[in-house]
A and B are shown apart, each in its own frame.
Chain A
Amino acid sequence: MNEDVVLQVKGVSKSFGGVKAVDNVSFGVFKGEILGIIGPNGSGKTTLVNLITGFVKADSGMVLAEGRKLTGLAPDKIAGLGIVRTFQIPRPYHSLSAVKNLVVPLYSSRIMHTIGGKLGDRDTVALDILEEIGFERDAHVPYKLASAFSEGYLKRLELARCLALRPYVIVMDELFSGLSVSEITAMIPMVERLHMNGITIIMVEHRVRELFQIAHRVMVMNFGEKIAEDVPDNIMKNEIVRQAYLGVT
């Protein structure tokens, strides 16, 4: 694994009203790794995702991607740089079919400016991506309206939407939430395949056990602060982490 730092978060803070959702968090993400972020409810994980990907403006601190400052950029610009995210509750385009859901990101500036002309028929590209993430390539499934799919498929569609943008960093906001154990088991190889393709992945998760199967390193948050950052084995044994989750014993 390359030691290059692909994403650097420095002293980032955000308050909503009187509540400090993220409090002076700093960490680095290495190229090609899978970094997990866990923490009890309300620890600021989703806010952190929003801060990194530009959906929320930080009160202070910086986020750098390969030296370039991300803080202050609009979310669509950040996605254009190749840093994409999934939403915790999937946000498909309900009135469009699965195929057309994926055609939309193919109109992003990122794609249009790089390989736009050589893309060919966008529907076909969309179908290819759908196949990659596990949609059956028969006559009907990709053409069903997004509103007709189950949660597992919608999560895959979220990922597919990210993949369409050819990212190098994907921030996944609770990918496993709302899925059954078997659905999660089916998703894990897909995440690993993304990792094999060289994509850096940040996974904010609540399902700690499943996350520990694939994460290389894990960061723990509590009350908006970072309280630990280590490999999964050590995290399990960390006293501070245990206290955060289980309370003082």
Chain B
Amino acid sequence: MNIFIFGLVNSVILALTASGFALAYGVSRLANFAHGALYILVGFATWLFLNRLGINYIGSILLSIIIVSIIGGGIYRLFLIRVKGMPVSEIIASLALGIAIMELFRWRGFISEAYMLPPFINGSVSIAGVMIDWQRLIIIGVGLAMMLFLWLFTHHTKVGLSFRAIAQDKHASMMSGIEPDRTAVISLAMGSALAGVAAVVILPLGNITVETGYMVLTNAIAVCIIGGLGSWAGVFAGAFLLGFAQILTAAFIGPQWQMVVVLLFIILTLICKPSGLLGKQKELEERV
């Protein structure tokens, strides 16, 4: 039972952190490697507002999420737009920016234990005989709500539908009046906002460190590769598969083997089904 609950928590954490990355990539084919950087940016910003400027918790959260969204959209508008269409240059540019941001934090000394965000609700509760803290429950709640929101958004709102249209066929959607650049800015902004939401619910579990940024990026990519890009179901599937695999490994083999498991899964996916479990990007496989 223990395993089920913590597996669930882990999976939702992975899904949350990956969703921002998946959105930007799924929609605009923009692999935003600054994703991890934006994640910790939200964390630090919230900390700053809370502790240095004395703004209340909710206000800090909202403020940092808004700021990060603007930064995310700005990254596209200022930098990535100039290299659009050249996927490698996009990766290099966003990666370099992400690293610049994260290392900037490291330089300013944000590596120590001192930076923490308080949990929303303190204490824990017993569910089915397992002690679990409220924060983790909140994570599950927020995560599931987020998944639902994203699904509804991309299926029932105009902007969301235009996201899917562009992902399927850029030129056809351009002919329908959807501007790819504007959509890209919005998708990156949303992706950053999602990263932000993930950050504020998950970071209270531990410290804010620069390493977290790199881990988040790695995990997001892993989830997207394993689950496949192009569908939320894929992100979900990948997150749950990886999430439970990690917890099971930690429980039965040893917590240090978790990373090995991630590595193995990625390699297996690439060998057996490169487009991922539920991926729709068949063109990633051997093409005619």
Q: Which residues of A contact B (CB under 8 A)?
A: 50, 55-56
CB-defined contacts of A56 to chain B, threshold 8 Å: 288
CB-defined contacts of A50 to chain B, threshold 8 Å: 288
Q: State the Cβ distance, A173 to closest chain B Cβ, in Å.
A: 12
- Total contacting residues, chain B, CB less than 8 A: 1
Query: Given the complex of chains A and B, what is the CA–CA distance between A56 and B282 in angstroms?
Result: 14
Q: Can you name 3 A-B pairs with beta carbons within 8 Å?
A: A50-B288, A55-B288, A56-B288
Query: Given the complex of chains A and B, what is the CA–CA distance between A16 and B288 in angstroms?
Result: 13
**Closest 3 A/B residue pairs (Cβ):** A55-B288, A56-B288, A50-B288
Q: State the Cβ distance, B285 to closest chain A Cβ, in Å.
A: 12
Q: State the Cβ distance, A89 to closest chain B Cβ, in Å.
A: 13
> How many contacts between A and B, using CB within 8 angstroms?
3
Q: State the Cβ distance, A176 to closest chain B Cβ, in Å.
A: 22
Query: Given the complex of chains A and B, what is the CA–CA distance between A50 and B287 in angstroms?
Result: 12
Within B191-226, the residues touching A (CB, 8 Å) are none
CB-defined contacts of B288 to chain A, threshold 8 Å: 50, 55-56
Which chain B residue has the least Cβ–Cβ distance from A74? B286
CB-defined contacts of A55 to chain B, threshold 8 Å: 288
Q: State the Cβ distance, A126 to closest chain B Cβ, in Å.
A: 27
Query: Given the complex of chains A and B, what is the CA–CA distance between A55 and B288 in angstroms?
Result: 5
Q: State the Cβ distance, B84 to closest chain A Cβ, in Å.
A: 22
Which chain B residue has the least Cβ–Cβ distance from A75? B288
Query: Given the complex of chains A and B, what is the CA–CA distance between A112 and B288 in angstroms?
Result: 25
Q: State the Cβ distance, A179 to closest chain B Cβ, in Å.
A: 24
Q: State the Cβ distance, B110 to closest chain A Cβ, in Å.
A: 46
Which chain A residue has the least Cβ–Cβ distance from B288? A55
Which chain A residue has the least Cβ–Cβ distance from B286? A74
Query: Given the complex of chains A and B, what is the CA–CA distance between A50 and B288 in angstroms?
Result: 8
Query: Given the complex of chains A and B, what is the CA–CA distance between A56 and B286 in angstroms?
Result: 10
Q: State the Cβ distance, B1 to closest chain A Cβ, in Å.
A: 44
Within B145-178, the residues touching A (CB, 8 Å) are none
Which chain B residue has the least Cβ–Cβ distance from A57? B288
Query: Given the complex of chains A and B, what is the CA–CA distance between A56 and B288 in angstroms?
Result: 6
Query: Given the complex of chains A and B, what is the CA–CA distance between A59 and B288 in angstroms?
Result: 15
Q: State the Cβ distance, A30 to closest chain B Cβ, in Å.
A: 28
Q: State the Cβ distance, A52 to closest chain B Cβ, in Å.
A: 13
Query: Given the complex of chains A and B, what is the CA–CA distance between A122 and B153 in angstroms?
Result: 60
Q: State the Cβ distance, B167 to closest chain A Cβ, in Å.
A: 17
Complex interface bits, B252-288 against A, C-beta within 8 A gives 1, otherwise 0: 0000000000000000000000000000000000001
Which chain A residue has the least Cβ–Cβ distance from B287? A55
Query: Given the complex of chains A and B, what is the CA–CA distance between A183 and B288 in angstroms?
Result: 29
Q: State the Cβ distance, B56 to closest chain A Cβ, in Å.
A: 53
Query: Given the complex of chains A and B, what is the CA–CA distance between A56 and B285 in angstroms?
Result: 13
Query: Given the complex of chains A and B, what is the CA–CA distance between A103 and B288 in angstroms?
Result: 23
Within B12-64, the residues touching A (CB, 8 Å) are none
Query: Given the complex of chains A and B, what is the CA–CA distance between A174 and B288 in angstroms?
Result: 17
Q: State the Cβ distance, A226 to closest chain B Cβ, in Å.
A: 22
Q: State the Cβ distance, B24 to closest chain A Cβ, in Å.
A: 27
Q: State the Cβ distance, A127 to closest chain B Cβ, in Å.
A: 32
Which chain B residue has the least Cβ–Cβ distance from A55? B288
Q: State the Cβ distance, B287 to closest chain A Cβ, in Å.
A: 9
Query: Given the complex of chains A and B, what is the CA–CA distance between A65 and B236 in angstroms?
Result: 47
Q: State the Cβ distance, B53 to closest chain A Cβ, in Å.
A: 55
Query: Given the complex of chains A and B, what is the CA–CA distance between A156 and B288 in angstroms?
Result: 22
Q: State the Cβ distance, B273 to closest chain A Cβ, in Å.
A: 16
Q: State the Cβ distance, B216 to closest chain A Cβ, in Å.
A: 36
Query: Given the complex of chains A and B, what is the CA–CA distance between A137 and B288 in angstroms?
Result: 34
Query: Given the complex of chains A and B, what is the CA–CA distance between A92 and B162 in angstroms?
Result: 37
